[in-house]
Amino acid sequence: MKKTLGTLTGIVLIALSVSAVADEQTEIGKKIYERAFGRGCGTCHDIASNPQLTANIKAGTLDRAKFEQVIREGKGGMPKAIDEIMKNKAVQKAGYTEELALDALYKYISNK
């Protein structure tokens, strides 16, 4: 019985920390989305669904690799954004690498 309780407590603690990490990731993704370039990605991407950023990610037509390529290299009217993302205070505070920051941002947009 004691052992079962210990195991259960362990499982609950692991579940809690996994969800805390997931929440932190979404929160950081949100901060990047709302603050990049001072006015956020939404200034260009939430209007008239012109460049269909969110829709394409949700539809699976813009995968993580293509997403990263556009963020790193820019595309037409889309400015290069990696430096801007790494300047974000939430990213710096969490000590995120470029990969982790892009994962967080991609995940946030996927669930938006």
Q: Is 76 in the site for ligand HEC (CB under 6 A)?
A: yes
Stretch that binds ligand HEC, among 7-15, 18-26, 45-53, 88-96 (CB under 6 A): 45-53
Among 24, 27, 56, 100, binds ligand HEC (CB under 6 A): 56
Segment contacting ligand HEC by CB under 6 A, of 1-9, 12-20, 44-52, 87-95? 44-52
| Helix (H/G/I), strand (E/B), else coil: 11 | helix
Residue of this chain nearest to ligand HEC (CB atom): 76
Sequence-distant contacts of 49-53: CB under 8 A, at least 24 apart = 51/77, 51/78, 53/109
Q: Does 36 bind ligand HEC (CB under 6 A)?
A: yes
Element (H, E) at 76: none
Q: Exposed, middle or buried: residue 88 (CB in 10 Å: 0-12, 13-18, 19+)?
A: buried
